[in-house]
Amino acid sequence: MADKAFPITEQTAGTLDNVDASTLTVGANTVMRQRINISDPTTAAAHAAVENANPGATDYGLVTRPIKQRGTKTTSNTAISVTTTATSIIAANTARKGLIITNNGTVPVYLGIAGVTTANGIPLPAGASLTDDVTTDAWYGIVASGTADVRVVEIS
């Protein structure tokens, strides 16, 4: 990585300020990355740092969280017949990145954890879908009567 400074507009007569940047080459692609400084202009003690840790009581700066990485993924499709007893729709999967549960039946399906009932489950009306990109837990479903065809797409 080579560091470079690029002049920008005059801030004070006769002087130019610079943008702090560096080039990065990955494969055949070269990009210019601009760096910025987050700090209190009146004290060097308030200079912000980016760290891969929870901020301490005296830390300055922005709190950042990891983002979900795109890349290699596996997608699976499943059809489940949900009945009047709590039915496993999909098992827990720590590698899960996302999940779509669609009620392809004609009666409401009530969603939740193991032991879900029609009284405590989340109602998913016929034709509706639930998208989950937060939990990697197992999902269960139950219907009040009959059966429901539930479709699942899992991305892991």
Q: Who's near 122: CB < 8 A, 6+ residues apart? A: 110, 111, 112, 130
Domain at 75-155: CATH code: 2.60.120.770
Q: Is the dihedral of CA 115, 118, 124, 126 positive or negative?
A: positive
Tell me the pLDDT band of 155, cut-offs 50, 70 and 90: very high
Mean pLDDT of 56-63: 64
Between residues 3 and 81, which one has the greater pLDDT?
81
Where in the chain are the domains?
A: 1-66, 75-155
Split at pLDDT 50, 70, 90, the class of 138 is: very high
pLDDT of residue 28: 80
> Which of 2 and 100 is assigned the larger pLDDT?
100
Q: Is the pLDDT of residue 81 over 80?
A: yes
Cα separations in angstroms, 112 against 18, 76, 83, 109: 55, 21, 14, 10
* pTM as predicted: 0.57
Mean pLDDT of 101-105: 97
Whether residue 8 is predicted with pLDDT greater than 60 in this model: the reply is no
More confident residue, 6 or 117: 117
The model's confidence at residue 1, banded by pLDDT at 50, 70 and 90, is very low
Q: Find out whether 55 and 38 touch, Cβ atoms under 8 Å.
A: no
3-state secondary structure 26-79: ECCEEEEEEECCCCCCCCHHHCCCCCCCCCCCCCCCCCCCCCCCCCCCCEEEEE
Whether 8 and 18 have beta carbons less than 8 Å apart is answered as yes
pLDDT of residue 99: 94
pLDDT for residue 40: 64
Indicate if the pLDDT at residue 142 is higher than 70.
yes
Measured distance CA(87)–CA(100) in Å, rounded: 17
For 58, the token pair is 């005296």
Instruction: Indicate the residue type of 113.
Output: I
